[in-house]
Amino acid sequence: MKFSKLRQLILVSSIGLLVATLLTACQIVTIDYVFVASSAGSGSGSNGQIQTYAADSATGALRITAPTVSTGGVNPIALAVTSDYLNLYVANQESNSVVHFAISLSGVLTQKDSVTTSFKPASIAVNAAGTYLFVVGGTSPSELAVYPLTAGAIGAVATSQQLSVPGFTGDLLVPTGVTVLTNNNVVYVTAYDQSAYNPGGTATSSANPGWVFGYTVGSGGQLTAALGSPFKAGIKPSAIVADPTNRYVYVTDYASNQLIGYGVQSGSTLDFLINGPFHTGNEPAAVVIDPRGKFLYVANSLDSTVSAYSIDLSTGTPSGVSNVTGSSSNITDTQPVAIAADPAVGRFIYTANHLGNTVSGFILDPTAGTMTTTQATPYPTGQGPTALISIPNGNHSVQSITP
């Protein structure tokens, strides 16, 4: 029996509506963009690259969403963004440079300007006000340099501070990390004394190996050493992070497999948390706190795992969080060296896996802090990824911090 034209029209319209509904239900909604810096892999002197991934709001799965861009230099080592998420900075270690990119609302990067540093940069950070870029690096001497930012553009260096251990000013210091309190007033730098800690070589100094240097930031970026700085930090501090409320600072010790916690006193002085340090996996290389300040995650490079901790908001004490298997470790691809938390919903954690040439993804339980792997993880990257950072999609708000 043949349909009438009216019945055919009704049938076609119904089918079209059903297809549209199914497509809408399956539509991928981008909650964050994740930027990953790695070597281009085509020669020791070739520029690095930055790949842009979109994170699915439902699963945390990543997909390439914008063209890969050059980092503008060789051996990218660190990434930082302004708090409005409109500007990205990459430190190129072998080129002695920091390059500035503008970030579009669709996650596309456009190179804008750059500065040449007087040393090989090791780590970078931007204050919450978006007025200063902090760059630390070098070994002889090691140095913290402050660059003013104007609408994201990098100005000439405003001030700098050489790092040295009191009583051991001739020792060789190796900076490893930098972080800024969200109140914009204090910057901390991690470094280890290679003269005192030199595996495979000869130690020539009796100094304590690991240190955190603290500085208050004044007008024009002027740096003033915090009372009691530098502060002891184990053997080989590898990364540093401050909690969103400016009350606690945490440092990973690569050599002793520990997480060292500090309370921030009188605005800038660091005191050890009385029940620390805290055990991590082997060779912890990176640390991040979720945007609500409730959970802390450590990337263990030798184990290829992430350790999860719940932070006691009254004392700062991190306690290990066990996943559904009863373990406090979560498996990544090979050698995670960087870690990032998504700022939009605070539900996803990502690691850059240097030897795996991938990014691993995890879904974070916002109540318990436990982790499960994202769909189709790990995700391919360029060769030897060294840094990653996440920003919210412009259509989504950032998690509020109310510890």
Mean per-residue pLDDT, 144-148: 98
What total of structural domains would you count in the chain? Answer: 1
Mean per-residue pLDDT, 42-66: 90
Q: In the prediction, which pLDDT does 140 show?
A: 80
pLDDT higher than threshold 70 for residue 236 = yes
pLDDT higher than threshold 90 for residue 386 = yes
Q: In the prediction, which pLDDT does 397 show?
A: 47
pLDDT higher than threshold 90 for residue 395 = no
CATH number of the domain residue 273 falls in = 2.130.10.10
Which of 176-180, 281-285, 316-320, 325-329 bottoms out in mean pLDDT, i.e. has the lowest?
325-329
On whether residue 93 sits in a domain, the answer given is: yes
Q: In the prediction, which pLDDT does 257 show?
A: 98
Six token digits for residue 140: 């002889």
Q: In the prediction, which pLDDT does 28 show?
A: 74
On whether residue 276 sits in a domain, the answer given is: yes
Query: Higher-confidence residue: 8 or 231?
Result: 231
On whether residue 21 sits in a domain, the answer given is: no
pLDDT higher than threshold 80 for residue 221 = yes
> What distance in Å separates the CA atoms of residue 257 and residue 78, rounded to the nearest whole number?
22
> What distance in Å separates the CA atoms of residue 13 and residue 94, rounded to the nearest whole number?
61
On whether residue 11 sits in a domain, the answer given is: no
- Helix, strand, coil shares of the chain, percent, nearest 5, are 5, 50, 45
Six token digits for residue 64: 């390439």
* Residue 281 amino acid letter: G
Q: In the prediction, which pLDDT does 16 show?
A: 38
Grade residue 399 by pLDDT with cuts at 50, 70 and 90: low
On whether residue 397 sits in a domain, the answer given is: no
Mean per-residue pLDDT, 249-259: 98
Question: 165: which DSSP letter?
Answer: B
Contact criterion met (CB below 8 Å) for 303 and 332: no
- Our CA dihedral for 70, 156, 179, 104, rounded to 10 degrees, sits at -40
Distance of CA 109 to the CA centre of its chain: 18
Mean per-residue pLDDT, 270-290: 96
On whether residue 401 sits in a domain, the answer given is: no
Q: Percentage of residues in the chain with pLDDT exceeding 70? A: 88
Q: In the prediction, which pLDDT does 7 show?
A: 46
Range of the domain at 37: 29-392
Tell me the per-residue pLDDT of 314-338, one tens digit each, with 9 for 90 and over: 999 999 997 655 555 699 999 999 9
Burial code (b: 16+ CB inside 10 Å, e: under 16) for 105-122 equals eebebebeebbebebbbb
Mean pLDDT of the chain: 90
* Residue 81 amino acid letter: V
Q: In the prediction, which pLDDT does 283 show?
A: 98
Q: Percentage of residues in the chain with pLDDT exceeding 90? A: 84
Question: 16: which DSSP letter?
Answer: H
pLDDT higher than threshold 80 for residue 8 = no
On whether residue 126 sits in a domain, the answer given is: yes
Where are the alpha helices (H) located in 302-374, listed in sequence order? none
Q: In the prediction, which pLDDT does 94 show?
A: 95
On whether residue 23 sits in a domain, the answer given is: no
Query: What's the sign of the alpha-carbon dihedral 279, 173, 74, 391?
Result: positive
Q: In the prediction, which pLDDT does 365 show?
A: 93
Q: What one-character-per-residue DSSP string does 241-287 give?
A: EE-TTSSEEEEEETTTTEEEEEEEETTTEEEE-TT--EE-SSSEEEE
In DSSP terms, which residues pair with 253 in a beta bridge?
Answer: 237, 258
The whole-model pTM stands at 0.91
> What distance in Å separates the CA atoms of residue 317 and residue 261, rounded to the nearest whole number?
8
Mean per-residue pLDDT, 133-138: 98
Grade residue 27 by pLDDT with cuts at 50, 70 and 90: low
